[in-house]
Amino acid sequence: MAALNVWIVGTLAALSLSLFLLLKIRRRREGEPPIENGWIPYIGCALEFGANPLKFLQIRQKKYGDAFTCKIAGNFITFITDPFSYSSVIRHGKNLDFQTIALKISRRFTTFIIWFYIIYRSQEALKAVKNEIENLLCVTNQKPGDINNPIIFTREQLDSMTAMGSLINESLRLSSASIMLRVATEDFVLTLDGGAKLAIRKGDQIGLYPQQLHFDPDIYEDPLVFKYDRFMDENGREKTTFYKNGRKLKYYLMPFGSGTSMCPGRYFAINEIKQFLALLLCYYDMELLDASAPIPLLDNSRVGFGILQPSHDIQFCYRLK
């Protein structure tokens, strides 16, 4: 009898659990984007998304178009993958609350990736940056020789270093991977760039994943290749015109997010990296210990948390000049 009771209770529990899980599977309603619930209850697409968000989103974009909803760890996230529609999300302050999943301070790794790239991957970039520093030293009448009288660059002088700025932005383009999420505070209709209207439910999230933009071959030729001068025009000035399908993009580089939640430390971060690089190149000779070592891959396990880190350390020697 006792055994039967246990059996009945167990069956009931299992039944109500499956009913609960069944109910958590969402059906698409009129006007809503296509939905993918994933195979696993609750978790949904989280595992596949977490393993490689870029690939996950690229496959869905091919299948569904520029907007689709995925269940990820109990949340329903509508991804907008068309960069021309980014502004619909970023400017839509009224119905969307921002929520950040980004590592706040990621400078250390960024700095590492940047100098690593210049000394290791591109002698040309190193030369351009060294030139820029030398010009600035000349203009400001400073010499790095005297350690008691260290070189000082003002913010305006750091701002004027376009080659270094471009190189830093190129490193950020290749290594940033944070996801921007906004929570819908009520049911509303989101109008995309092409005029398509999407019904969004209260409590759902809208997700932008700028890495997809950063690796788009329509926007950046050979997107996986590091080109230090990508963000410079032929006159050596900052380049701000990037195109997709022949149309100029408002958003082409978003390592710091955008809109109300955009990183307030971005100018500080970039100036600090510039200062660090300038001092490093002025005062030290550096060399990789093993110049033929393969380039470390970026560690994808930290995706969604700001800047990707190299998968392992690289040894180098340095000497005061």
Ligand X SMILES: *[C@@H]1O[C@H](CO)[C@@H](O)[C@H](O)[C@H]1NC(C)=O
Binding residues: 263
Does 105 sit near ligand HEM (CB under 6 A)?
A: yes
Tokens 């030729």, residue located = 221
Task: Return the amino acid letter for 270.
Answer: I
Q: Residue 243: beta bridge partners? A: 248
Which of the stretches 5-13, 214-222, 264-272, 292-300 binds ligand HEM when contact is defined by CB under 6 A?
A: 264-272
CB 82 within 8 A of CB 52: no
Does 206 sit near ligand HEM (CB under 6 A)?
A: no
Per-residue contact flags (x/-) with ligand X for residues 150 to 179, judged by CB under 6 A: ------------x--xx--x----------
Q: How far is the CB of 237 from ligand HEM (least distance, A)?
A: 23
Does 69 sit near ligand X (CB under 6 A)?
A: no
Is 318 exposed, middle or buried, given 0-12, 13-18 or 19+ CB atoms closer than 10 A? exposed
Q: Binds 231, which of ligand X, ligand HEM, none (CB < 5 to 8 A, cut-off by type)? A: ligand X
Q: Binds 69, which of ligand HEM, ligand X, none (CB < 5 to 8 A, cut-off by type)? A: none
| Tokens (6 digits) for 16 | 């109500």
| Tokens (6 digits) for 201 | 């439910």
DSSP string, 151-193: ----HHHHHT-HHHHHHHHHHHHHHB-BEEEEEESS-EEEEPT
Give the residue with the Cβ less far from ligand HEM, 36 or 86: 86
Q: How far is the CB of 303 from ligand HEM (least distance, A)?
A: 13
**Whole-angstrom distance, CA of residue 144 vs CA of residue 131:** 14
| Tokens (6 digits) for 203 | 């409590």
User: Binding site for heme, residues?
Assistant: 263
**Whole-angstrom distance, CA of residue 261 vs CA of residue 93:** 11
Give the residue with the Cβ less far from ligand X, 81 or 169: 169
Strand, coil or helix: what is 40? strand
Q: Residue 288: beta bridge partners? A: 316
Distance of CA 164 to the CA centre of its chain: 20
Does 110 sit near ligand X (CB under 6 A)?
A: no
Q: Binds 104, which of ligand HEM, ligand X, none (CB < 5 to 8 A, cut-off by type)? A: ligand HEM
Does 167 sit near ligand HEM (CB under 6 A)?
A: no
Q: How far is the CB of 162 from ligand X (least distance, A)?
A: 5
Give the residue with the Cβ less far from ligand X, 58 or 160: 160
**Whole-angstrom distance, CA of residue 144 vs CA of residue 174:** 32
Exactly one of 258, 274, 277, 304 binds ligand HEM (CB under 6 A); that residue is 258
Which of the stretches 57-65, 106-114, 242-250, 279-287 binds ligand HEM when contact is defined by CB under 6 A?
A: 106-114
| Binding positions for ligand X, rule: CB under 6 A | 162, 165-166, 169, 231, 238, 253, 256, 266
